A and B are shown apart, each in its own frame.
Chain A
Amino acid sequence: MSEENGSGTQQGQRAGAFDIRLVIAALFVLYGAICTLMGLLGTSEEDIRQAAGININLWSGLGMLVFAGAFTIWARARPIVLPADSETPSS
């Protein structure tokens, strides 16, 4: 993940250097896409009646896509910066 950031990423002390935000965003892009597609193509009238008249797959899917987008933007806007004077946490 961190390879994409280019600047500021060094080899060596890389504790926590992969960005969990992008991993979360990736999972939710997949979840969002699958749920949205289910909502558009795979949801019957019966399903909608069961879910109190809401096409819940479609709406949750869209919600997850928006969430994934927000996390990606956050990760891009404030990438992980490793401090230059990388303290080695030895005792």
Chain B
Amino acid sequence: MHALAQEQLRLDAGPVDYLLLALYFLFVLGIGYLARRSVSSSLDFFLSGRSLPAWVTGLAFVAANLGAIEIIGMSANGAQYGMPTMHYFWIGAIPAMLFLGVVMMPFYYGSKVRSVPEFMLRRFGKPAHLVNAISFALAQLLIAGVNLFLLASIVNVLLGWPLWVSVLMAAAIVLSYTGLGGLSAAIYNEVLQFFVIVAALLPLTIVGLTKVGGWQGLVDKVSAQAGAHQLSAWPGNELTGFGSNFLSVLGIVFGLGFVLAFGYWTTNFVEVQRAMASKSMSAAQRTPIIGAFPKMLIPFLVIVPGMIAAVSVQDMVVFKQQGEGNVDYNDAILLLMRDLLPNGILGVALAGLLASFMAGMAANLSSFNTVFTYDIWQAYVVRNRSDGYYLSMGRWVTVGATVAAVGTAFIASGYSNLMDYLQQLFSLFNAPLFATFILGMFWKRMTPTAGWLGLVLGTCASLSIFLLAETGVLELPGQGASFVGAGAAFAVDIVVSVAVSVVTTPKPAAELTGLVYGLTPKADRTAATTGEDAGWYRRPGVLAGIVLVLIVILNIVFG
């Protein structure tokens, strides 16, 4: 989208659109200001004082992930591959979110740790803690830079503002609300952002569907243009790059659905932090489960417009048929907006897009400053200071991280391909982390040495697969390489952890209470069912069951 397509994509934004955009920014900053009044301790700043209701954290859980990659990337996948893209949501997110809520959250929330690396510290000790904290912090800085760069390049393409102006302005806005209000400001803005994105994408989808003649019209056009396989989610050969149907289904279920998704959703602190901010164990468990409801429906607002663009936007149709032209799949949703939306709703759509990109960066910043302050600074550099010291430290870390993100954004502008790769790489770091977590949570015999060694060697495994695929030694088109890499990392981590555990000494059982399944009394890992947590519709297990049934139905209807 960077070089050729500039002219085609310039949106015809009028004064009304700018007014809507300005209103949105006013609200974003206002929320930062309001949230500031509730910050009086470091726990308020980093974990919202563990006081938020489940619907707020649940929507923030989804919105923190609804960034540039999701909207631009998934509509691009929709335009290119069609319905199989649904797997990223229905197989690649929902089961993992339910697992996080039902199985893992009792340990995260119940042990009162303040971050995912802190759980590593309690369970495996310092080496594993350091490895996890540093790699996470580094990844967040780089990803924040990527988000910032994407934001700026979209503003540049759509509105014609110079790249550096949009980078600095977006950084200043994100900094002012996360620096003022901490995690609460980030979370409240994510909730607001969620609704603005829906308000932007829903009209776009409705107008788009009307234009192609309704659902049946879309089905007819996609079948005629690309073939019926783009209309059913399974077996998704094009997506995985596997020729065999069996391998393709296996790749989706095990690679995407199990290792990649579970790794991402259950151990990524950006997500887990949202649940940790909720006000009770029951609310923490419900956070990802409540988030699963909108998550199921988002593909209809993201993938379907991508598919519509591929059959209705002239430049896009030509590109898909001939494989060349001066547009790109990444432009799908932007081209559709340009073609269909009049001034007014166009401003809402712009606000929605910018909202999504800013929230992605704010989520990176708010999790980075928590991990840096608690897990690196407080644990290893300056210990035993007053809470006020770490609170003001958190604010300064936010400033520093924003400056660093501006730096990485400019690096990204020079090496946009490299940054795409980096992002894919970090997603692979989560696979071994998940293996270590799941083993550590359920097997009390797993030792501290196994904790860090498994993590390091598992990461090396995914790194090697990635490099082999990049240099062409391993021939895996589509998303196959990351599925295989994640699978390898998971397997290596498990094997190494088990082997090392057998020959080293485990931690004494008394130190593992609340951290390991077998050593935690049932009462400590069960959520309360009284007061604000009463009622069957607030039971995490019941809600998760409802989501599971809905997912099976969706897979059958659109399978």
- Which residues on A are within 8 Å of B, measured CB to CB? 1, 14-18, 20, 23-24, 26-28, 30-31, 34-35, 38-39, 42-43, 47-48, 50-54, 56-57, 59-61, 63-64, 67, 89-91
Contact = CB atoms under 8 A, between A and B. Distances in A.
State the majority secondary structure of interface residues on A: helix
A47 B34 contact: no
B56 interface: yes
B341 interface: yes
A38 B16 contact: yes
Given A15-B44, A27-B192, A57 B38 contact: no
Interface stretch (B17-25, B165-173, B321-329, B547-555): B17-25
Nearest to A27: B27
Contact of A91 (B43, B48, B52, B344): B43
Interface string B191-229: 110011001001100111011000000000000000000
A14 B38 contact: yes
Contacts of A17: 38
A35 B99 CA distance: 41
B191 A54 contact: no
Given A20-B56, A28-B195, A60-B203, A42 B34 contact: no
A34 B344 contact: yes
Contacts of B27: 23, 26-27
Interface string B406-431: 00000000000000000000000000
A30 B206 contact: no
Contacts of A60: 199, 202-203, 345, 348
B45 to A, nearest CB: 10
B195 A50 contact: no
11 contacts: A20-B191, A20-B192, A23-B31, A34-B347, A42-B344, A52-B210, A53-B210, A56-B340, A57-B345, A63-B199, A63-B202
Contact of B342 (A1, A30, A57): A57
A15 B344 contact: no
Contacts of A14: 37-38
A56 B44 CA distance: 42
A15 B47 CA distance: 11
Nearest to B204: A56
Given A27-B24, A54-B207, A43 B51 contact: no
A90 B386 CA distance: 13
B191 to A, nearest CB: 6
A52 B211 contact: yes
Contacts of A43: 342, 344
B184 interface: yes
A23 B203 contact: no
A52 to B, nearest CB: 4
A89 B43 contact: yes
Contact of A51 (B48, B195, B341): B341
Contact of B348 (A35, A52, A59): A35
Contacts of B44: 15
Contacts of A67: 195, 199
B218 to A, nearest CB: 13
